[in-house]
Amino acid sequence: MAATINWYLVPEIRRMVFYAFIGEILARYVGVIILAAYILAALGFAVVLIPVVLSTLNEYTVTEGAVTCKRFSIRGVKTQTVERKPGVKISRRQGPLAKLLNYGDIILVSESSTLVLLGVARPAEVEKIISK
């Protein structure tokens, strides 16, 4: 109990323990290292979370005649439609992490407009469905 109280009350004891186990130079920057670890963890969490948020905020509808995207945002709902004609080009955009997690963006380019479907799960399968 006394050791626990001394650990929290006496900063010199903590400093001596850090020096003994991780060295003087590293002990000086323990706070910075911990902060950097928290920042990296938050960035990693955001990279995984962004596709989930994008896919839940967007609604995609594929019919025989068109592909429709309904985007929900703070400003309201925006609907965009691209007709499924023979001249529509379909491409897929995936980074290394997106390939690993099996999500990506599908880009539809027609003569009059471009529609980007963001954060689509299993984009290869969706691309085949749209191109049929």
Q: pTM score, two decimals?
A: 0.57
**Where is mean pLDDT largest: 22-36, 51-65, 87-101?**
87-101
CA distance 82 to 117: 11
Q: Residue 13: what pLDDT? A: 66
- Band the pLDDT of 116: cuts 50, 70, 90: confident
Q: Residue 31: what pLDDT? A: 78
Could you tell me which residue, 75 or 80, shows the higher pLDDT?
80
Q: Point out the least confidently predicted range of 17-31, 92-106, 108-122.
A: 17-31
Q: Is 118 exposed, middle or buried (0-12, 13-18, 19+ CB in 10 A)?
A: buried
Q: What are the residues whose beta carbons fall under 8 Å from the beta carbon of 68, sequence distance 6 or more?
A: 60, 61, 62, 79, 80, 81
